[in-house]
Each structure stands twice: as C-alpha cells, then as structure tokens.
Amino acid sequence: MHGAAALWRPRLYNGGKNLFMQAKCKGAVQAMKDKAKIILSIIVLLTILQLFLFGFRQLVFTFFERNSYYIDSVASMISMVILSILFILFSKMLKVPLSVFPERFHKFYIIGTCAAAILFVTTPSNYTGGFEPIILLIYVSIVTPIFEELIFRGYVWNKLNSITTKEWTPYIVSSILFAVWHVGYIDSIAFRVETGLVNVMFLKVITGLCYGVILGALRLKTKSVYSTMLLHGVMNIFGR
C-alpha cells in the first residue's frame, strides 16, 4: 500500500504543476489581450478626435471663408478649445486622471511659469503685424500645447500606466503615437503648402516624434502634465 501511494505522489505533483502552468499561461494570454484592447481603444480614440477636429474646422469654415493661414489657424484654435473641454469631461466620465497639476507646486513650476510668460509677452511678433500675430501665438503656444498634452501626456500616458508597471512603456508608446498623430493635420498643412506635401508631412511626423521624446522625458521626471504644457508652449514659440 505504501509503495503504491509513493508511485502516485509524483503523478499528483506533476498534474498539479501542469494545472498551475496552464492557469499561468491563460492568465498571461488574458493579460496580453487586455493590453491589446486598451492600446486599440487609445488608437480608436485618437482617430475619433482627429475626425472631430476636422469636422469642427469644416463647421467654422461655413461661417468664415478659408482664404488665409490666419483663418485656418483660428478654425483650428476654436476646434481645439471645444475638444479640450469635451475631452476633460470624457476623461472624468471614464475616471481616467489627466495628472495636470503636481502634488506640490514648488519653485521649479513657479520659475518655469514665469519664464514661459516672459517669453510669450516679449515675443517680437506680438508687436508687429497688429492683432493677428497675437492670436496665432495664443494658438500655437497655449491652445495647442494644452490640447495635445491633455491627450498624450495626460490621458494616453495614464491609460498605458494602468496596464504596465514599467514606466518606459507609456513613454515610448505615447511618443510614437504623438508622432503618428501629426499625420491627422494633413488637411491644414495641405492648405498651407503648394508643393512637397509628402516631404513636409514626413518632417512633421519626425518633429512630432522629437517633441514626444523630449516632452515624455519631462513627464517621466516630473509626473506632471503642467510641466510638459509649459515646455511644449515654449518650444512652439521658437518652432512655429
């Protein structure tokens, strides 16, 4: 009897081990599926946002003739403001934090805010060409950074953080998505350039990737979207 029991023990052990491994594999597969679903949902959301942005712009053009870079930019600015408000409400509904403000507003943020404000006020274009350059500056250095940072270093970053413990994953994925996101601006860019659209779009994507890498590194360091909004705005002042 004792000998028979001894023979059964290895089989029971191996059987239990196999069940454990099967359960572990199923868990890993399910985790991969969950991650894929979240990444897919992010891509779908970004596509919808670009479609809404395009739609809102076309709606503005029903009231104002699209005959200049200024009108095109104003249409984009109005669309981004509306979408930013809707996006904040959407994020709250899904209970996805945007991590805009830091836990403690220390001197780094105060100095950064003051420096960005000084650059904004002293930009030479504010004092040449009348009212239009000021509106364009507001569009590129305030509205666009807030809109894009809420999406990428806010929602997308935190959504990716929910499926991984590795801090580099949101950094890398959000940077790539930010680069691809700029393809959605093709309508506006096509209106502004007469030739070489493909080359311009390629440079736009590469620039978006560089922005994503720099801003993502700051987000990784500060854990705050406010800091990336400031830097994004400053970079756009010089890069517009």
For the chain (240 residues), the mean pLDDT of every run of 10, in chain order, is 56 58 63 85 97 95 92 96 97 95 86 92 79 92 97 97 89 97 95 91 96 97 95 88
Cβ(165)–Cβ(101) below 8 Å:
no
**Residue 77 lies inside a defined structural domain of this protein:** yes
C-alpha–C-alpha distance, residues 178 and 181, integer Å? 5
**Residue 32 lies inside a defined structural domain of this protein:** no
- DSSP symbol at 224: -
**Residue 119 lies inside a defined structural domain of this protein:** yes
- DSSP symbol at 95: T
Per-residue pLDDT reduced to its tens digit, 58-83: 999 999 999 999 999 999 999 999 99
Report the pLDDT value the prediction gives residue 125, as an integer from 0 to 100. Answer: 75
User: What φ, ψ does residue 68 adopt, rounded to 5°?
Assistant: -160, 165
**Residue 38 lies inside a defined structural domain of this protein:** no
**Residue 30 lies inside a defined structural domain of this protein:** no
**Residue 188 lies inside a defined structural domain of this protein:** yes
Per the structure, the count of domains in the chain is: 1
**Residue 80 lies inside a defined structural domain of this protein:** yes
What's this model's pTM, rounded to 2 decimal places?
0.87
C-alpha–C-alpha distance, residues 119 and 174, integer Å? 28
Domain of 75, in residue numbers: 43-239
